[in-house]
Amino acid sequence: MPADCEVISCPAPEASAGILPRWRNLQHAARQEADIHHIVGDSHYLVFGLLPNKTVLTIHDCGALNRLLGWKRALLKYFWFSGPMRRAAVVTTISEASKDELRKWVGPLADKVLVVPDCVLEQFAYDPMPFNEVSPVVLQVGTKWNKNVERVMEAVAGTGCRLEIVGRLSEEQRAKGAGSGVSVKQCFSDSAGVAACELGRLTDEGIVEAYRRCDMVVFASLYEGFGLPILEAQATGRPVITSNFGAMREAAGEGALLVDPYSVEEIRAGILRIKRDPVLREELVRKGRENVERFRPSAVAKRYAELYRRLRDQETKRPRD
């Protein structure tokens, strides 16, 4: 942040689950004193405990609304989306795709939303490495339902590549991998000779090292509010394959090979293109490094600082009783 913006982190004291813990989180938020309050987690309801004209709310995505039905969805929609959006002075989201999705759920309320993207941290730095043309390491980040790991495992099978997966696989995912000819094993160092290597839950340093160690990154997600692994790979200097729609396409710019994430054949073809075509690899890395500059912390911090100053100045000019 610029020098005139002092940022104080204020975590909610309790996990956002159940009525009483959320009520205590609201009380905690109401006791905080600052020129501007910025809610950056998924506890959007905290807006109700803060002064509206001093509050910025960031909504990352609408994934929970897509998963729930009936009265649960109605409650979530009001207390996490439409209610907080009406109350906050400024609402931001992290991609145009997320703003479009918000419009689907809250209608004209989405018109007030500003897009300020996530940033890629400085520890993800350019680290060139000779490409392993014989047996490249493909990195898959994440194992939740939207990360599409089952199709990626199937796509990697038979390409001569080795797959490393950040995250813990479910037994169902392991079974599907085995059904497509991918044998998943745990490992934390050299994965030579292993068709798929489950890295498990890594530290921040371990994730950085996983990007450095790989030859390409496949992030063929089915749903994202943003798609940070795309930028982390680009910053490290690795060719990226990602989905051809939504926030992934938006975040990638021209620095990724776009595929249909529902098509195993397209994902596999993309992997083979990167494996076999050094000119394509070089072009993707170059364009990726150019693209990632838009998402450096200083660039994103500057945009938030402008919002904070504007709200502060408006509050200063507000007539007093």
Q: pLDDT of 63-115, one tens digit each?
A: 889 888 999 999 999 999 999 999 999 999 999 999 999 999 999 999 999 99
d(CA 53, CA 315): 7
pLDDT at residue 187 in the model: 55
Residue type, 160: G
pLDDT at residue 171 in the model: 87
Determine contact, residues 81/65, Cβ cutoff 8 Å. Answer: yes
Query: Low-confidence residues of the chain, pLDDT below 50?
Result: 188-194
Nearest to 95 by CA among 81, 109, 113: 113
Q: Which residues, 6 or more positions from 221, have their beta carbon under 8 angstroms from its beta carbon?
A: 142, 146, 147, 148, 227, 242, 243, 248, 261
pLDDT at residue 201 in the model: 81
Identify the sign of the CA torsion 27, 30, 31, 36: positive
The answer to whether the 19-119+297-317 and 137-295 domains have the same CATH topology is yes
pLDDT at residue 218 in the model: 98
Fold of 19-119+297-317: Rossmann fold (3.40.50)
Burial of 219 from C-beta contacts in 10 A (0-12 / 13-18 / 19+): buried
pTM: 0.86
Domain 137-295 has CATH 3.40.50.2000: yes
Q: Give, in degrees to the nearest 5, the angle at Cα 139 between 195 and 270.
A: 90
d(CA 260, CA 243): 6
d(CA 292, CA 278): 21
pLDDT at residue 320 in the model: 55
d(CA 262, CA 273): 18
Q: Which residues, 6 or more positions from 174, have their beta carbon under 8 angstroms from its beta carbon?
A: 184
Q: Which residues, 6 or more positions from 265, have their beta carbon under 8 angstroms from its beta carbon?
A: 155
Identify the sign of the CA torsion 96, 117, 93, 150: positive
The ranges assigned to domains in the chain are 19-119+297-317, 137-295
Determine contact, residues 132/161, Cβ cutoff 8 Å. Answer: no
pLDDT at residue 66 in the model: 86
d(CA 120, CA 282): 21
Q: 37 - beta bridge partners?
A: 55
pLDDT at residue 183 in the model: 65
